[in-house]
Structure 1
Amino acid sequence: MQVTETLNEGLKRAYTITVPAAALDAKVQEKLVEAQPEIEMKGFRKGKVPMPILRKQFGTRLLGDAMQEAIDAAMKSHFDASGDRPAMQPQVTMQNGEEWKEGDDLVVEMTYEALPEVPEVDLSGIELERLVVKADEAAVTEALENLAANAKDYEDRAEGAAAEDGDQVVIDFKGSVDGDYFEGGSAEDYPLVLGSGSFIPGFEEQLKGAKAGDAVKVDVTFPAEYGAAHLAGKDAVFECTVKSVKAPKAAEIDDELAKKFGAESLDAMKAQVAERIEAEYTGAARAVMKRALLDKLDALVSFDLPPSLVEAEAGQIAHQLWHEENPEVHDHNHGAIETTDEHKKLAERRVRLGLLLAEMGRKAEVEVTDAEFTQAILAQARQYPGQERQFFEFVQKNPQVQQQMRAPLFEDKVVDHIVASAKVTEREVGKDDLQKALEALEEL
Structure 2
Amino acid sequence: MQAQLETLSGLERRLSISIPREEITKRVDARLKDVAKKAKIAGFRPGKAPLNIVAQQHGFRVQEEVLGETVERSFGKAVYEQKLQVAGYPRFEPKDGAEEDGDFQFVATFEVYPEVKLGDLAGKEIEKPVLNVGETEVDKTVEILRRQRTRFERVERAAQDEDRVIIDFKGTIDGEVFQGGSAENYAFLLGKGQMLADFETGIRGMKEGETKNVDVKFPDDYQGKDVAGKTAVFEITVKNVAAPQLPEIDGEFAKALGIADGDVSKMRAEVKKNLEREVRLRLKARVKESVMSALVDATPVDLPRALIGLEIGRLAEQAQADLKARGIDPKLVPFSPAMFEEQAKRRVHLGLVLADLVKANGLEAKPEQVKAIIEDLAENYEDPADVVAWYYEQRERLAGPESMALEDNVVDFVLGQAKSVEKAVAFDELMGQQG
TM-score (normalizing by structure 1): 0.58
Measure how far apart 1:432 and its partner are.
1.9
**1:195 matches 2:207:** no
| Residues 145 and 253 in structure 1, CA contact (< 8 A), matched pair in contact too | no
Shift in alpha-carbon separation, 1:422–1:12, aligned structure 2, 3 A: closer
**1:249 matches 2:237:** no
1:417 matched to which residue of 2? Answer: 409
**1:42 matches 2:35:** no
Q: Which amino acid aligns with 2:41?
A: M
Helix, strand or coil at the partner of 2:15: strand
1:272 matched to which residue of 2? Answer: 270
Helix, strand or coil at the partner of 1:89: strand
1:261 matched to which residue of 2? Answer: 257
Shift in alpha-carbon separation, 1:69–1:249, aligned structure 2, 3 A: same
| Residues 313 and 351 in structure 1, CA contact (< 8 A), matched pair in contact too | no
Unaligned runs of 5+ residues in structure 1 are 171-191, 198-204, 217-241, 320-328, 380-401, 439-444
Q: Which amino acid aligns with 1:248?
A: P
Q: How does 1:296-315 map to 2 (within 5 A)?
A: 296-298=294-296, 301=299, 305-306=302-303, 308=305
In structure 1, what is the Cα distance between the partners aligned to 2:292 and 2:411? 11
2:90 matched to which residue of 1? Answer: 90
Identity %: 24
| Residues 132 and 282 in structure 1, CA contact (< 8 A), matched pair in contact too | no
**1:432 matches 2:426:** yes
Q: Which amino acid aligns with 1:308?
A: R
Shift in alpha-carbon separation, 1:121–1:257, aligned structure 2, 3 A: same
Helix, strand or coil at the partner of 2:13: strand
Cα offsets for 1:183-211 (capped at 9, x unmatched): xxxxxxxxx994279xxxxxxx99x9666
| Residues 263 and 269 in structure 1, CA contact (< 8 A), matched pair in contact too | yes
Cα offsets for 1:278-333 (capped at 9, x unmatched): 3332233223322442354346545x5145269759999xx9xxxxxxxxx94137
In structure 2, what is the Cα distance between the partners aligned to 1:309 and 1:148? 51
Measure how far apart 1:45 and its partner are.
1.2
Shift in alpha-carbon separation, 1:167–1:120, aligned structure 2, 3 A: closer
Give RMSD over aligned pairs.
5.2
Measure how far apart 1:27 and its partner are.
1.5
In structure 1, what is the Cα distance between the partners aligned to 2:165 and 2:308? 59
| Residues 129 and 425 in structure 2, CA contact (< 8 A), matched pair in contact too | no
Q: How does 1:14-413 map to 2 (within 5 A)?
A: 14-96=14-96, 101=100, 103-119=101-117, 130-155=128-153, 157=155, 161=157, 194-195=187-188, 247-264=243-260, 265-298=263-296, 301=299, 305-306=302-303, 308=305, 330-332=333-335, 351-362=348-359, 364=362, 366=364, 412-413=404-405
In structure 2, what is the Cα distance between the partners aligned to 1:409 and 1:367? 9
TM-score (normalizing by structure 2): 0.59
In structure 2, what is the Cα distance between the partners aligned to 1:411 and 1:136? 32
Q: Which amino acid aligns with 2:406?
A: V
In structure 2, what is the Cα distance between the partners aligned to 1:245 and 1:130? 47
Shift in alpha-carbon separation, 1:120–1:259, aligned structure 2, 3 A: same
Helix, strand or coil at the partner of 1:78: helix
1:184 matched to which residue of 2? Answer: none
Q: Which amino acid aligns with 2:40?
A: E
Bigger drift between 35-44 and 119-128 goes to 119-128
Shift in alpha-carbon separation, 1:35–1:12, aligned structure 2, 3 A: same
Helix, strand or coil at the partner of 2:17: strand
